[in-house]
Amino acid sequence: MLKEFKEFALRGNVLDLAVGVIIGAAFQNLVTSLTNNIISPLLGCFGEVDFSSWALNIGNLHLTYGAFITDVINFIIMAFIVFLIVKGMNKLANLGKKEEKVAEEPTTKICPHCFSEINIKADRCPHCTSELNVEVSTKQEA
């Protein structure tokens, strides 16, 4: 059982996940610090508002909805930064790939007699049985 756990824990994707969780936790602390120490005081400066002090008391119930507003701001900042990171990674991934537009050769043509769509290799139209190698005159002879 210990051997199986060791194999599981040392697989690449488990280690990648662990590193991601550790970096995510550190990043969360950074964003929380940004919100609490910079954004909230700036908003408080303009509107004399400190979200963390907002609370609602109902009897013995103490609802700190200001802390919730601060957490919503943290979430929006985190989501925006993750969006920018993913967008940047996708741009980097697509940077190496050049989109080559290959012009496809047509596989069909239009019959000049009946205007039906037919195979480009056809010598005779399957709809009107006209020969296609013969040049069609568009002028009416008088």
The answer to whether position 140 is within a domain reads no
Q: Are residues 72 and 108 in the same domain?
A: no
Q: Are residues 61 and 111 in the same domain?
A: no
The answer to whether position 56 is within a domain reads yes
CATH number at residue 27: 1.10.1200.120
The answer to whether position 60 is within a domain reads yes
Q: What is the mean pLDDT of the chain?
A: 79
Per-residue pLDDT band for 139 (boundaries 50, 70, 90) equals very low
The answer to whether position 57 is within a domain reads yes
Average pLDDT over residues 93-121: 80
pTM of the model: 0.47
The per-residue pLDDT for range 25-49, each reduced to its tens digit, is 888 888 888 877 887 777 777 766 6
Are 120 and 108 in contact by the 8 Å Cβ rule? The answer is yes
Which range of residues forms the domain containing residue 67? 2-95
The answer to whether position 20 is within a domain reads yes
